[in-house]
Structure 1
Amino acid sequence: MESIRGYTEPVTKLTAGDFESLVQLAWAEDMPNGDITTDSLFNENEQAKATLLSKDEGVLCGTAVIDSLLQRVENQVIYHAVLMDGSKLSKGSVIGELSGSLAMILKMERIMLNFLQYLSGIATNAYLVTQEYPNLVILDTRKTLPGYRKLAKYAVHTGGGWNHRLNLSEMAMLKDNHIAKAGSIQSAVSMVRKLHPTRKIELEIDGLAQLDEAISASPDIILLDNFSLTDTREAILKLRNVAPLIKIECSGGITPDKLKALSEFSAVGVSMGYLTHTVRFLDISLEIH
């Protein structure tokens, strides 16, 4: 497969604009009428320093959100980065330091941690899987929280995984309902290719009986959905002998415990919704001095 870790253009970076609407929603959700605790106890002039600290092992991701939050508090807080996205975290790692308005630090704390913990959790998921199975192409899916798609896929890429399509506009994926509408696999692939000749086409099949027709249709990728290990082995052998330019992908409720069986097949794509929908927040805290 290509050296670029993605079927389409991978999400290699985030900008403040990618966070802006989400930060705005999070701020309104958390403080629809201010922070009654902080506003009651602290005045605007009180200053403080705080350390962003990892209490867990993993991969850091999502630090771009801090810039969005600093703008939200009108730069009354300054952030000094110690570690960048992609850095390996251990217990006690200092991620960065904040200084400025104590009230504003307290108001932005939970929103900042929610983003960092969530995206670092995804990045850590991807890192652990790709490190254990370096011969497989570990792909994400579109099983992401609404509005968080680009962020989640960036986190997968940060952890070492591959990005599948970001959205429905980037490439075609033909499934059984599409094939039924077109009348055949060949017709479905031809119809898409005629209208979108530069777009990649992935074709999902659910049994060996469809393999020959799938190969003759010449999609860019053939997805073996819920194949048994025996059928997977047979399909991969045939594809590599007959159509070596067609990429191979496996899917169907794949979790890390199922990857060991697939790891005998080098350079095979494995799409895993697990990377983004089964996420444990990484333990990151903000210690205020």
Structure 2
Amino acid sequence: MNRGYTTPVTKITENDFESLVQLALDEDLPAGDITTDTLFAKEESCTAVLLAKEDGILCGLSVIPCLIGKTKASLTWKNALEDGAVLSKGTVIGEFQGSLVSLLKMERILLNFIQYLSGIATNANRVAKQYPNLLILDTRKTLPGYRKLAKYAVYTGGGANHRLNLSEMAMLKDNHVAKAGSIQSAVQMVREKNPGKQIELEIDGISQLSDAIAASPDIILLDNFSDSDTEKAIQILKEKAPKIRIECSGGITPDKLNFLSKFDGIGVSMGYLTHTVKFLDISLDIK
């Protein structure tokens, strides 16, 4: 099952993060590492393990070979796990061997990527696992440049991907409807000019529901509906328009999902998955 409205982000390649890795290196090492370059000889070598310090879901390992390549480090990396692995405190993720100086210089950058993406994957996993009858969707509320990585992390954790960008599918909001003159006109105009593209229509009140159903978009988004209006709208949609997918949104956090879990199969979009993230505690232990 593809968990998403469009093509989900099931993998990432170096092209997706190479520029971010280079940006991180330029940011952190504009003129070397004063501490490391002063205290350690270039020829010193080491063995180090990447270690989980708390429970979670692993994500972001493909950044490591890119980082090694960008720094031309004399390092080898052998991973013991793959992205999506379930971590517990003390789990060894993989091992480095080689240049101690190179490893110390890239340590913070490496951990920033993996802790951040693993944090997102863990966030998504907790929610998706607790509410398996809901399609837990991410949003475009991501850090600039990190969109694809963040959505990959959501998918890795068991969540689902909404549209990756504005080009993948149409979402009609109040400003768009106002410009078109009506819900019917807005949906029709987009459909005529973009055949084959999915159309999602956002409504913010139950009074718009009849017009929304008549316009027949692919998805109707109930934005910031009260519990009672949500229940009423979903009942009407399932009876009168069973082919239209239903999504709920509007500041939804995990504590608000108990009510929505009454309705099997609906989508719930949550900026929370990517903008309320705690880095997963992962350390680099040099032996």
The TM-score range, normalised by the shorter chain, is over 0.9
Question: After the TM superposition, which parts of structure 1 deviate over 6 Å for at least 4 consecutive aligned residues?
Answer: none
Q: Which amino acid aligns with 1:236?
A: I
Q: Does 1:176 align with 2:155?
A: no
Any gaps of 5 or more consecutive residues in structure 1? none
SS of the aligned residue for 2:279 comes to coil
Q: Which of 8, 27, 52 is residue 6 of structure 2 equivalent to? A: 8
Query: 1:71 aligns to what SS in structure 2?
Result: helix
- Counterpart residue number, 1:59: 57
**Could you tell me which residue of structure 2 aligns to residue 35 of structure 1?**
33
For 1:148-227, list aligned pairs within 5 A: 148-227=146-225
Measure the CA separation in 2 of the matches of 1:72 and 1:36. Answer: 20
Q: Which residue identity does 2:177 align to in structure 1?
A: I
SS in 2 for 1:92: coil
Aligned to 2:85: 87
TM-score by length of 1: 0.98
Spell out, residue by residue over 1:192-235, the C-alpha distance to the aligned partner (whole angstroms, 9 max, x if none): 00110110000000111100110010100000000111111111
Deviations 1:81-115 (A, max 9, x none): 00110000000000000011000010111100000
Provide the residue aligned with 1:96 in structure 2: 94
| Alpha-carbon separation, structure 1, partners of 2:2 and 2:70 | 35
Aligned to 2:265: 267
Determine the structure 2 residue equivalent to 1:144.
Answer: 142
**In structure 2, distance between residues paired with 1:270 and 1:89:** 26
Find the aligned partners of 2:206 and 2:17 in 1 and give their Cα distance.
Answer: 44
Give the secondary-structure state (helix, strand or coil) at the position aligned to 1:9.
coil
Q: 1: CA distance between counterparts of 2:225 and 2:194?
A: 29
Report the counterpart of residue 237 of structure 1 in structure 2: 235
TM-score w.r.t. the length of structure 2 is: 0.99
**AA partner of residue 146 (structure 2):** Y
Name the counterpart of 1:118.
Answer: 116
- Contact kept? 2:73, 2:102, Cα under 8 Å: no
Out of 269, 282, 285, the residue aligned to residue 284 of structure 1 is 282
Of residues 66, 69, 72, the one that matches 2:70 is 72
In 1: Cα distance, 2:73 partner to 2:103 partner = 11
- Count, aligned residues: 287
Partner of 1:44: 42
CA shift at 1:147, angstroms? 0.4
What is the alpha-carbon distance in structure 1 between the residues aligned to residue 132 and residue 62 of structure 2? Answer: 28
- 1:75 Cα offset (Å): 4.5
- Give 5+ residue unaligned stretches, structure 2: none
The alignment's C-alpha RMSD in Å is: 0.6
**What secondary structure does 2:221 align onto?**
strand
Contact 1:16 1:67 (C-alpha < 8 Å) held by counterparts: no
Give the distance between the partners of 1:35 and 1:16, measured in 2 at CA.
Answer: 25
Helix, strand or coil for the counterpart of 2:171?
Answer: strand
- Aligned to 2:220, the other structure's residue is in SS state strand
CA distance in structure 1 between the aligned counterparts of 2:152 and 2:74, rounded to whole angstroms:
28
CA distance in 2 between counterparts of 1:75 and 1:288 reads: 16
Identity of aligned residues (%): 68
1:73 Cα deviation from its structure 2 partner: 2.4
- Alpha-carbon offset, residue 17 of structure 1: 1.4
**Corresponding letter in the other structure for 1:178:** H
Further displaced range: 67-76 or 107-116: 67-76
Whether the 8 Å CA contact 2:73–2:99 is kept in 1: the answer is no
